[in-house]
Amino acid sequence: MCLLARLRARAGDEGSAAAELVLITPLLILILMLIVAAGRLTDARLQVDSAAMQAARAASLARDPIAAASQADATAQAALASEHVTCDPLTVTPDTAAFRPGGQVSVQVSCTVSLAGLTLLHLPGSQTLSASFTAPIDAYRGTGP
C-alpha cells in the first residue's frame, strides 16, 4: 500500500514543471532584453569616449584654432558614424584657449541616443552621453602650413 500511496501523491504534480516554465519564460526573456539594452548603452558610452579621444587628437594636429574646431567636429561625426551610433543631437565643443605649441586642446562630445532602438522593448526616452578628452600639442611643431 505504501507504493500505491506514493503513486497517488506523485500524480498531483504532473504538468507543474511545464506550467512553471510557461509562467517564468516571459520574465526571463524580459530580463535578458534589459541586459542586452544595458550592454548596448555601455557600448555607446565607450564609442562616445573614443570619439572624444579621436576628435581631440585630430584637433591637436591642426595648424590653427579654426581648423582644429573643424577637424574635431568632422572626426567625432565620422567616428560615431563608423560605429553606427546615431546621435540626435551630436554636440562637439572644442576648447582651443591653449592652442599653441606646447599647449593643449580639449574636446567635449555630447550625444543623445534614443533608448527605443536598443532592444525590441522600445524603451521610452533617451540618454545623453558625454565624454571629454585633452590632447597635447607638440611643443616643437611649426606654426605655418
* Residue 144 pLDDT grade (very low, low, confident, very high; cuts 50, 70, 90): low
What pLDDT, on the 0 to 100 scale, is given for residue 135?
95
pLDDT at 113 over 60: yes
What pLDDT, on the 0 to 100 scale, is given for residue 122?
72
Contact 112, 99 (CB under 8 A): no
- The whole-number average pLDDT for the span 15-44 is 83
Between these two residues, 11 and 124, which has the higher pLDDT value? 124
Which of 100, 57, 96, 101 has its CA nearest to residue 79? 57
What pLDDT, on the 0 to 100 scale, is given for residue 105?
95
- The whole-number average pLDDT for the span 75-94 is 92
What pLDDT, on the 0 to 100 scale, is given for residue 1?
54
pLDDT at 110 over 90: yes
